[in-house]
Structure 1
Amino acid sequence: MGNTLEQRVQETFDYLHKHPEISWEEKETTNYIKSLLENSGCKVTVFDDCTGVIGEYGNFNSDLPVVGVRADIDALWQEVNGEFQANHSCGHDAHMAIVLGVLWKLEQELELKDKVAIKFIFQPAEETGTGALQMIEKQVVADVDYLFGVHLRPEQELKMGQASPVIVHGASKMYSATIKGDGDAHGARPHLNHNAIEIGAQIVNMISQIHLDPRVPHSVKMTNFHAGGKSTNIIPGNASFALDLRAQSNELIEQLERKVKNIFHSIQELYDVEIKITSENGLPAAETNEEAISIMKKAISETLGEENTMPSLVTPGGDDFHFYTIKKPSLKATMLGLGCDLTPGLHHPYMTFNKEALQNGVDILSRAILNTYKI
């Protein structure tokens, strides 16, 4: 591995980028990070029933506050060059390299080890929205007082050399559901069933008429619909579909859910069919903490300059990072938004970014930790 910190971080990123693993299958990633944490003298925790790895660095036998630094470790499954494969197109490879770089940067200052208590959290399955909940169940943040995260941002939000002290993600909810009627009918006898396709169209029309507070961004859209088969003279009585719900606040997503479920109930009564939600998952909106944001803002200003310290970044995207504060309200947490000229966008199979931003992330997060301890 390279001699300088920048080289180590870059080489670590290159390795992780070339070895992506999807949610809950990050076994080699876990083992790789585990070995690096052990080499840096961390107390390491892994789990028998899931991926992910925790490294404790510093003095945990004191009254020092515990600072957690979290990196997500999973990749997406998507089509790249005509083949479906695991692919780090959301920047998690960068997040891991940055957080490891923070450890290595702090490790260079030997006198710091007794003055800090840092928990490095390499969390699985962010892309499924379930990894943070599993770490919470494992009591990973039970002793954590401050929690910092990081996420690369597309160039439309932040330019290279800029950073935001908080990403204010919105809330999301995804439903998979079925429409179950009287079964199929002959095309010549439409009175013998209710056309599941027409019912789906009615759902689309009704969700488009949901009106909530226009000052708070929100949306509902049908993202897939399947009904019928190869025969064009059969009216399908059954179907499956999915909905994507989004709102910028947790309060509004709850209102949105009630409206959608009321629509389902009305459609069932009108057409005498059953609409059943077969699966649902989602992410909460960010619950922000002013102290954590202030610490991160100061770290950005000291690292990149006040002129590159951007305001709070509001985005309709989501991240399961916010489950930590939802489940533990006393946690003082924020997620650093890192400018890196990322293009054409997150989750694009050919996403690229300026790798020099990796060191910016290392420097900002390291400074935020030291600011927390007033060092």
Structure 2
Amino acid sequence: MSPIDRIRTYAGELTALRHDIHAHPEIGFEEVRTSNLVAELLQGYGIEVHRGLGGTGVVGVLRGRSDNGRRIGLRAELDALPIEEATNLPYRSTVPGKMHACGHDGHTTMLVGAARYLAETRAFDGTAVFVFQPAEEGLGGARAMIRDGLFERFPVDEIYALHNAPNGPHGRLKTRPGPIMAAADFFDIRVQGRGAHAAEPQRGVDPIVVATALAQAMQSIVSRNADPLKSCVVSITQIHAGAAYNVIPESAHLAGTVRTFDGDVREVAALRIRELARGLAAAYGAEIEVEIRDVFSVLDNSAEQAAAAAEVATELFGAENVEADCVPRMGSEDFADMVMAVPGAYAWLGGTPGPGLHNASFNFDDSIIPLGSAYLARLVERRTAA
């Protein structure tokens, strides 16, 4: 029986698990219920469980039929997003303002499914290490686990992760050697002006005018400062200022993100944000404070592991459902920090096309759970035999 067929025999239990996690979302470093649920399931399968890495992370260790020294890591994310769910699903979020809008509930479920399969079959040599990571959504969960000694306590030769792709095609796996997802910086820019009556603007320094001028100027970074042959995105995603119709406020706040694949472009973007802020502060007589934070590194797949991922997917899904040199994406993933520590590969698995990631109407495609679980489990079987 193929791993897909075997896992399909308990796909109903996995789907119920996914719905349970979806109904009880927890955002970064708050995943107490979710991590407890995962730990209890792993223990029930006879897997050695370690808790508390990176705060709420869980690591499972499973030894195969013999020990040849090979150790393969598999990683999934536990956290949800601060989004109010807009679906009417029977298992919709029961927590106001929180939702699994990226599919981490599905990824966790797929890794649990892989762990169960491997624990029941033990058709592998070496050791499987299951990493359930907290706080992937921009809060540094991978870095927290690494700081807590993830790879010192649980060394692996290589590590793999999988993400759903709601744009489809259904059942197609995409990966590539080299950069597959962008680096990300988050920025906060605080403009300090001088408040005044809205009817007497000459008595103040309007921070809204300064903030909007800066927002416009920052769009020139991509078009006029970044190398046009190298990708760069500068997105302002928040502007906050004021609380009344007839008051010029004291301050304004802009926030957003920069996405790049190239270190030089990343430095240019950060430099220009600071230079534009200084220039506009002088021009308008305001004060501007800029904070730029390195949140995600470039996710750079190791060539050998990307080839292994494609090979396993071809075996399971057929060559027509594997794209081994896909186009990189400007999204970011902190699995990047794990593959900077050990060789590894990241891949996308297509679901039935529907609302996109981080959308209030998103719903993970349960039909790909057995596919993802089988893919992760087969990686352990094949790579421990290497």
Q: How many residues align?
A: 365
After superposition, what is the alpha-carbon deviation per residue over 1:67-104, rounded to whole angstroms, capped at 9, x for unaligned? 11001011112122598332112111110111111112
**Residue 330 of structure 2 is aligned to residue 316 of structure 1:** yes
C-alpha distance 290-111 of structure 1, shift in aligned 2 (>3 A): closer
Give the aligned partner of residue 238 of structure 1: 251
CA distance in 2: counterparts of 1:149 and 1:111, whole angstroms: 21
After superposition, what is the alpha-carbon deviation per residue over 1:281-321, rounded to whole angstroms, capped at 9, x for unaligned? 52222122101101101001101011111132421111111
CA distance in 2: counterparts of 1:32 and 1:271, whole angstroms: 55
CA distance in 1: counterparts of 2:8 and 2:379, whole angstroms: 25
CA distance in 1: counterparts of 2:374 and 2:12, whole angstroms: 14
Amino acid across the alignment from 1:239 = A
**Overall identity of the aligned pairs, in %:** 25
8 Å CA contact 1:176–1:279 kept in 2: the answer is yes
Give the aligned partner of residue 135 of structure 2: 125
**Residue 61 of structure 2 is aligned to residue 56 of structure 1:** yes
Give the aligned partner of residue 197 of structure 1: 208
State the secondary structure of the residue aligned to 2:189. strand
C-alpha distance 109-191 of structure 1, shift in aligned 2 (>3 A): same
State the secondary structure of the residue aligned to 2:233. strand
Give the aligned partner of residue 255 of structure 1: 268
Unpaired stretches in structure 2, ≥5 consecutive residues = 1-6, 88-94
CA distance in 2: counterparts of 1:33 and 1:295, whole angstroms: 27
Pairing partner for 1:169 from 181, 184, 187: 181
Pairing partner for 1:85 from 73, 85, 97: 97
Give the aligned partner of residue 152 of structure 1: 164
8 Å CA contact 1:5–1:104 kept in 2: the answer is no
C-alpha distance 289-251 of structure 1, shift in aligned 2 (>3 A): farther
Give the aligned partner of residue 117 of structure 2: 105
8 Å CA contact 2:46–2:119 kept in 1: the answer is no
Deviation at 1:45, TM superposition (A): 0.8
8 Å CA contact 1:299–1:365 kept in 2: the answer is no
C-alpha distance 186-60 of structure 1, shift in aligned 2 (>3 A): farther
**Residue 218 of structure 2 is aligned to residue 207 of structure 1:** yes
Give the aligned partner of residue 374 of structure 2: 363
CA distance in 2: counterparts of 1:108 and 1:313, whole angstroms: 37
Indicate the RMSD between aligned Cα atoms, in angstroms: 2.5
8 Å CA contact 1:129–1:320 kept in 2: the answer is no
Deviation at 1:54, TM superposition (A): 0.7
C-alpha distance 128-219 of structure 1, shift in aligned 2 (>3 A): closer
Pairing partner for 1:221 from 235, 256, 279: 235
C-alpha distance 48-304 of structure 1, shift in aligned 2 (>3 A): closer
8 Å CA contact 1:60–1:117 kept in 2: the answer is no
Give the aligned partner of residue 3 of structure 2: none
Amino acid across the alignment from 1:123 = Q
Amino acid across the alignment from 1:74 = D
TM-score when normalising by structure 2: 0.87
Moved more, 332-341 or 77-86: 77-86
Deviation at 1:47, TM superposition (A): 1.6
After superposition, what is the alpha-carbon deviation per residue over 1:99-152, rounded to whole angstroms, capped at 9, x for unaligned? 11111222232353xx12111001111113311111011111232221100100
State the secondary structure of the residue aligned to 2:299. coil
**Residue 189 of structure 2 is aligned to residue 141 of structure 1:** no
**Residue 348 of structure 2 is aligned to residue 337 of structure 1:** yes
State the secondary structure of the residue aligned to 1:108. helix
Pairing partner for 2:15 from 5, 10, 25: 10
CA distance in 2: counterparts of 1:70 and 1:348, whole angstroms: 23
C-alpha distance 354-186 of structure 1, shift in aligned 2 (>3 A): closer
C-alpha distance 14-239 of structure 1, shift in aligned 2 (>3 A): closer
Deviation at 1:250, TM superposition (A): 4.1
Moved more, 187-196 or 14-23: 187-196
After superposition, what is the alpha-carbon deviation per residue over 1:13-39, rounded to whole angstroms, capped at 9, x for unaligned? 232222222221111111111111111
Give the aligned partner of residue 38 of structure 1: 43
8 Å CA contact 2:207–2:249 kept in 1: the answer is yes
Deviation at 1:5, TM superposition (A): 3.4
CA distance in 1: counterparts of 2:291 and 2:243, whole angstroms: 21
C-alpha distance 237-55 of structure 1, shift in aligned 2 (>3 A): same
C-alpha distance 188-355 of structure 1, shift in aligned 2 (>3 A): closer
TM-score when normalising by structure 1: 0.89
**Residue 100 of structure 2 is aligned to residue 95 of structure 1:** no
